[in-house]
A and B are shown apart, each in its own frame.
Chain A
Amino acid sequence: MTPRIRRLAVPLLTASLLVLASAACGSGGGSDTAGSADTAAKPGEKVKLTIGLFGDFGFKPLYEEYKKTHPNVEIVENVTQFNDHHNNLVKRLATNAGAGDIEAVEVGYISTFTAQPAKFQDLKQYGLDKRQGDYLDWKWQQGLSKQGGQVLGLGTDVGGLAMCYRKDLFEKAGLPTDRTEVAALWPTWEQYIETGKKFAAADVAGAKFVDSPGEIFRAMVNQAPAGLYDAQDQIIVDSNPDVKKAWDLSNQLTAEKLTAKLAAFSPPWNTGFAKGSFATIICPAWMTGFIQEQAKDASGKWDIATVPGGSGNSGGSHLMIPKQSKHPKEAAELIDFLTSKENQAKVFKEEGTFPSIPSLYDDPSIQNFTKPFFGDAPIGKIYSEAAKALKPQHLGPKEAEVRVVIGDGLGRVEQGKQTPDQAWAQVLEDVKKIK
């Protein structure tokens, strides 16, 4: 190289490196386009429907099917993380801009939104009240406006509880591996903890008994007749003995060193699945989809047993149409399609989210459904029984916020920052501040 060429080449090279680096890293920021600014559709005109979700709902194959009968409809799916999704929805409703034509809302947030009926379309206008007969009654009720009257959301799935466990790790620990024998180990949560102690005593390398106490706590509260709220929407965390009992049991998991300290849905938790860092995980039906997704190499190692402490519901969602949607009629049709009996059954078989339509529970195609990934466990039967036994619980408007406060308390104990009593005192203080 002559000196002159070199003088030019070096900055050029570095500049191109810069551009490459920024291009490679620039994809980190998510786009925020959930607009639905089309004009009202005439028959046959192209309609773009946006649908906002918080995770994979298993809808993708259904969109393709829907487009066959509705060639003029284009469907755009926006998936964001759980908390962000719901917080963004609150913002977009308040500012009347940016929400999708269809938005998924999890039960933890459903009362927040059904308390604002003016912000949503009444699905009755589009004839969807005809679907009432299909649904579990309590699931249907959850989608109604506070005063009743308006139908704001149609249910997708319910989260009947079960307990997933790793057969290989149980075997290493000298515990039974057959699902009925495993279920017999833990009719109650106390016995579940006892089993955990046995597992810990066997000292299986690199594996703890449970991922973290957070979701276990949620499941235990959901099994009680009343949870974080009473029927009058008052927070009863400080007075409900079932909440305190769930708190104590959850912290016992920590005290006995049974947890892998992996908060649910975090990246290290995902890694934990791949590495087999925990032997059991609380398994609402939708969790089976997560496990399949995260522990791809562990096919056949996971199995499903009944949950300690009786039935309960954890999670499940509704689909709603914000008032600002430009195509409420088309959106309502799509909701009707996505939540139909046949499609809920299809989504369950693919994704694991369990239908909220009780006539499916005795349907042979569900009853006899097994999954090779879970060692051919009869997951259709397990979750049908769980869903049939469900006793619905009243959920309050700030359900999710209260749960975060308690989750933080459990986290402080888990990280050794506070004793359970100190953490509980702070939880009660924090709960009082929730407006």
Chain B
Amino acid sequence: MSSLPLAVPGRRRRRGIRHTLDVRVSPYAYVAPFFLLFCAFGLFPLVYTAWVSLHEWTLLSDEHTFVGMDNFGTLLADGYFWNATFNTLSIGVLSTVPQLVLAIWLAHLLNRRLRFQTLFRVSLLLPNVTSVVAVVVIFSQLYGRDFGMINWVLSWFGAGAIDWAAGTATSHIALSTMIMWRWTGYNALIFLAAMQAVPRELYEAATIDGASNFTQLRKITVPMIRPTMIFVVIVSTIGAMQIIAEPLLFGASTGVAQGGAANGGPDRQFQTLALFVYEQGFTKFDFGYASAASWLMFLAVVIVAGVNFLITRRVKGGLV
């Protein structure tokens, strides 16, 4: 660089500008690809959906009449929408709460010296990389009414054949186990990563003080991994609010959904919000109504995630 003719003031100034530009502008150029993609595949659909939701808009007709908030009004009075909201929350709670408790426990078990610990840790992730289609098809067979393995085992204890997919509570339980099967290990690994950052000395000191294993988990581990817990709770909540593949395929592979797999059973007993949106949009082709529903669903996700954030934040952080 020293070979450059430093004595020329004009060129020096220009270099200065280029340098400033480089420092000020380049970072934006580096992050631009993400934002461009986000605008194309995130922001634009969001805004366009809002626009569509204000119209009477079906796939079969090229005319889209502006109807203002009509779709939202109809939606709020639609019992099937509220039914889907209830199902989503019910399946969400039934799957997320046991899942996170189980994940913390598994992570705690693995957070110690074990033979083949990498094998154990990686195998936690196995259910997560399995295709959701395979998981639901297999679970649907396990939960089969006539020839399912679960009913077979239950029959040893004198239970009659349960029609898992037909009942509201039973279908929610069945779907929750599928979700837990896929996501417990994944969350356990995230918890495990956080737990490994907790200083060993704390456990050693607690052991000397005579604290039991469970007390250590409760008094040391959980408070120390609070930020991770907040993250996992929020991500799981958002995931649970968007469940669609499981109920859709469950309806199809148990045959309980008769003609339309998108209705979540003849009584809509396990139709989730996302499935409701799919039914309106892609089997009835009523895009206006489906768009309105997805916006309300978006708001519901924000509200539920926010509430969970506030609750999780109340878990005491740090060591008291």
Which chain A residues have a beta carbon within 8 Å of chain B's beta carbons? 10-11, 13-15, 17-18, 21-22, 25-29, 81, 83, 87, 90-91, 94, 116, 214, 261-263, 265-269, 271-272, 275, 277, 400-401, 403-404, 407-412, 414-418, 435
Contacts and interface: CB of A to CB of B under 8 A. Distances in A.
30 contacts: A11-B118, A13-B119, A14-B119, A22-B129, A25-B130, A25-B134, A28-B133, A28-B137, A81-B252, A83-B260, A83-B283, A87-B282, A261-B145, A263-B258, A266-B253, A272-B146, A275-B147, A400-B259, A404-B259, A407-B259, A407-B266, A408-B258, A408-B267, A409-B266, A411-B256, A411-B258, A415-B256, A435-B58, A435-B284, A435-B286
A403 B260 CA distance: 10
Contacts of A26: 131
A-B residue pairs, 6 tightest by C-beta: A266-B255, A411-B266, A28-B133, A404-B259, A408-B266, A14-B122
B144 A268 contact: yes
Interface of B: 58-60, 116, 118-119, 122-123, 125-126, 129-134, 137, 140-141, 144-147, 163, 166, 252-261, 263, 265-267, 269, 282-286
B282 A214 contact: no
Contacts of A27: 131
Contacts of A21: 126, 129-130
A87 B141 CA distance: 26
Contacts of A266: 252-256
Contacts of B122: 11, 14-15, 17-18
Contacts of A262: 255
Contacts of B269: 417
Nearest to B266: A411
A27 B129 CA distance: 13
Given A18-B129, A90-B285, 18 more contacts: A21-B126, A21-B130, A25-B134, A28-B133, A81-B252, A91-B282, A94-B60, A262-B255, A266-B253, A268-B145, A268-B147, A407-B258, A408-B266, A410-B258, A410-B266, A411-B265, A412-B266, A416-B166
The dominant DSSP class at the A interface is helix
Contacts of B58: 435
A416 B167 CA distance: 10
A341 B311 CA distance: 71
A20 to B, nearest CB: 10
Most chain B CB atoms below 10 A, which of A26, A87, A411, A435: A411
A1 to B, nearest CB: 12
A214 B260 CA distance: 13
Nearest to A14: B122
B119 to A, nearest CB: 5
Contacts of A417: 166, 266-267, 269
B137 A415 contact: no
Nearest to A88: B282
Nearest to A10: B118
A20 B260 CA distance: 34
A424 to B, nearest CB: 13
Nearest to B135: A25
B185 to A, nearest CB: 12
A261 B162 CA distance: 13
B234 to A, nearest CB: 27
Contacts of A10: 116, 118-119
B59 A404 contact: no
Contacts of B254: 266-268
Contacts of A14: 118-119, 122-123
Nearest to B148: A268
A28 B134 contact: yes
A22 B261 CA distance: 26
Nearest to A108: B259
A22 B253 CA distance: 21
A105 to B, nearest CB: 15
Contact of B146 (A25, A29, A277): A277
Contacts of B130: 21-22, 25
B263 A29 contact: no
